[in-house]
Amino acid sequence: MRRDQVLQAADGSELSTLRRSLREPRTLFSTLLSEVIIDCKINHLYYGKFLAVRDSDIPIYKGKITAFIGPSGCGKSTALRCLNRMNDLVRGFRFEGHVHFRGRDIYHPKVDPVVVRRYIGMVFQQPNPFAMSVFNNVAFGLRLNRYKGDIADRVEQALRGAALWDEVKDKLKQSGLSLSGGQQQRLCIARAIATEPAVLLMDEPCSARDPIATRRIEELMRELKKHYTVAVVTHNLQQAMRIADKTAFMYVDTSGGGRTGYLVEYGDTKELFEGPKEEYTKQYIRGEFS
């Protein structure tokens, strides 16, 4: 099997998923719990000798928005980057645990991380359009993946999907860098969805935006949820309450002299905010520490 086929095989129809399930007991289990598209279990995650995150099991449910919240340094971005092997780019990164996407291990040696990122796309805190036209920014991933269909049509669909088409349809040849910050962020979302990933990871996509641009991106996330699964890191608790179906609260353990992030509580957003089970969650939600 070729490297890229390992995940492509996981991208089949419901029927092929079911067929595969019948052959593989573990996949059958994940099919029965079919709502979980990414099953993430971080036992220990190191940057060099530094234990950055431990004991965090975070399921990502299909078609839902999952928010990662918690104080600075608790490992939210680290955990998010684990979901599409973005930490592989960090020297000294080491990970014990697993991340299963549609029942398949994305850290399997035969899996190409570039292929993983086609299925699980990412949008960063600071928009990072390439120094090329608006059109080419969105077409970039399509060309990289040797897309055989109508590129112009796909670019338009992606820009519409990112609620940007009306603002840029007459500026497709202008540099992506000439757009406003909020437009650049939506351009990066368009670039990420152009290749139709199954999951979209967003690391604080609104933190550098004003309230109006923030609301637009939140509305967009609700729209995106109809077609994609979204996992988002946010510092803004109100935002998590407004947009997320599921919430993972992480905190920092300093008891052993280190600063290791871990999952304190995970659940339905409403339940987690209205009836948190853990004392740390209660305190964090009450704003007793930041």
Ligand X SMILES: Nc1ncnc2c1ncn2[C@@H]1O[C@H](COP(=O)(O)OP(=O)(O)OP(=O)(O)O)[C@@H](O)[C@H]1O
Residues at the site binding Mg ion, with contacts judged by CB under 5 A: 77
Among 3, 259, 267, 285, binds ligand X (CB under 6 A): 259
CB of 52 to ligand X, least distance (A): 4
Binding-site residue total for ligand X (CB under 6 A)? 13
Please, which residue, 176 or 261, has the CB nearer to ligand X?
261
Tell me the three-class secondary structure of the chain, residue by residue.
Answer: CCHHHHHHHHHCCHHHHHHHHHHCHHHHHHHHCCCEEEEEEEEEEEECCEEEEEEEEEEEECCCEEEEECCCCCCHHHHHHHCCCHHHHCCCEEEEEEEEECCEECCCCCCCHHHHHHHEEEECCCCCCCCCEHHHHHHHHHHHCCCCCCHHHHHHHHHHHCCCHHHHCCCCCCEHHHCCHHHHHHHHHHHHHHCCCCEEEEECCCCCCCHHHHHHHHHHHHHHCCCCEEEEECCCHHHHHHHCCEEEEEEEECCCCCCEEEEEEEEEHHHHHHCCCCHHHHHHHCCCCC
Partner touching 78 among ligand X, Mg ion, none, CB below 5 to 8 Å by kind: ligand X
Residue 254 touching ligand X (CB under 6 A)? no
Stretch that binds ligand X, among 73-81, 99-107, 135-143, 211-219 (CB under 6 A): 73-81
Residue 52 touching ligand X (CB under 6 A)? yes
Residue whose CB is nearest to Mg ion in the complex, by number: 77
Among 22, 33, 90, 114, binds ligand X (CB under 6 A): 90
Among 2, 25, 49, 72, binds ligand X (CB under 6 A): 72
Residue 129 touching ligand X (CB under 6 A)? no
Among 6, 7, 54, 75, binds ligand X (CB under 6 A): 75
Residue 66 touching ligand X (CB under 6 A)? no
Residue 176 touching ligand X (CB under 6 A)? no
**Interaction site with ligand X (CB under 6 A):** 47, 52, 70, 72-78, 90, 259, 261
